[in-house]
A = this chain, B = another copy of it.
Amino acid sequence: MSSEGFSIKARGLGNNNNMGGGGTGTKCGRWNPTVEQVKLLTDLFKAGLRTPSTDQIQKISTELSVYGKIESKNVFYWFQNHKARERQKRRKISTVDYDHRQDTNLSLSHRHNPCHHQTPPKDTFGGREEEENVIETLQLFPLSKVERANITAASYNEYIREHVNTTVFSTYSSCGAEMEHPPLDLRLSFL
C-alpha cells in the first residue's frame, strides 16, 4: 500500500508553529464561525435537524457563506459536534433514567427499575426539555426515493489504506460468539 498524497497530522503536541502567521487574510487555522452562522446552525438544530444530508449541508453552507468564509465540512462537523456535546451535556446531568447501558460506570449500581428495553411505540414524546418542537412552517417532507447505497470496495480500500498508514490496529478478531471486552470478561467467566 503505497501511500498517496495524504499527510498525517502530527498528533500530540509538538508541532505548533503559527499557521497563518502573518494573519493577513489567509488564516488557515480553523473555521471560526460568525454569530450569524452559529445562530442559523443552532436554529436548525433546535428545529430538529440532526444529521443533514449532503444536499442540505451544501445549501446551508452556501447560505452561510454570506456571513463569512465557510466550507461544507464545517457544517458537517458542526452538527456532529453539537449533537454529541448536547447529548454529553445531558448525560452528565441526568444520571438517571433507564439503565443506559455501556458507560461501564463502575460505581453505578442501583436502579431497580424494572426497565423494559424496547418501548418503541410512539414513545412518550416531549419530555426532555428540548421542546423546540418543530415550528409550523417547518415541514417534514418525505424526500424522494431511495436507493440503497452501493459502495464499491474502492472506498473501503482507501479507508483502510488511510488507517493502516496511521495506525495499525485492524484487530478484527470476531472469533465466535464472544469478543474481547475488558470489563466484560470478568462477568462472563461463568460461561
> Per-residue CB proximity of A57-73 to B under 8 Å, as 1/0?
10110110111110101
A158 touches B160 (CB 8 A): no
Q: Looking at the complex, which one of B54, B104, B140 makes contact with A135 (CB distance below 8 Å)? A: B140
A interface residues, tally (CB under 8 Å): 150
B129 touches A100 (CB 8 A): yes
A1 on interface, CB distance cutoff 8 Å = no
User: In whole angstroms, what is the CA distance A108 to B8 when docked?
Assistant: 12
Q: Looking at the complex, which one of B8, B60, B127, B136 makes contact with A95 (CB distance below 8 Å)? A: B8
Nearest B residue to A170, CB-CB: B69
**Copies of this chain, whole number:** 2
Task: List 25 A–B pairs whose Cβ atoms lie within 8 Å, in order of A's numbering.
Answer: A6-B162, A9-B95, A13-B109, A19-B114, A34-B112, A34-B174, A36-B177, A40-B187, A42-B101, A48-B132, A48-B179, A50-B121, A52-B177, A54-B151, A59-B190, A69-B168, A81-B118, A100-B126, A100-B129, A101-B127, A101-B146, A103-B149, A106-B149, A112-B158, A113-B155
Interface residues of A (CB under 8 A from B): 6-9, 11-19, 25-26, 28, 32-36, 38-40, 42-44, 46-57, 59-60, 62-63, 65-69, 71, 73, 76, 80-82, 85-87, 89-91, 94-162, 164, 167-179, 181, 184-185, 187-188, 190-191
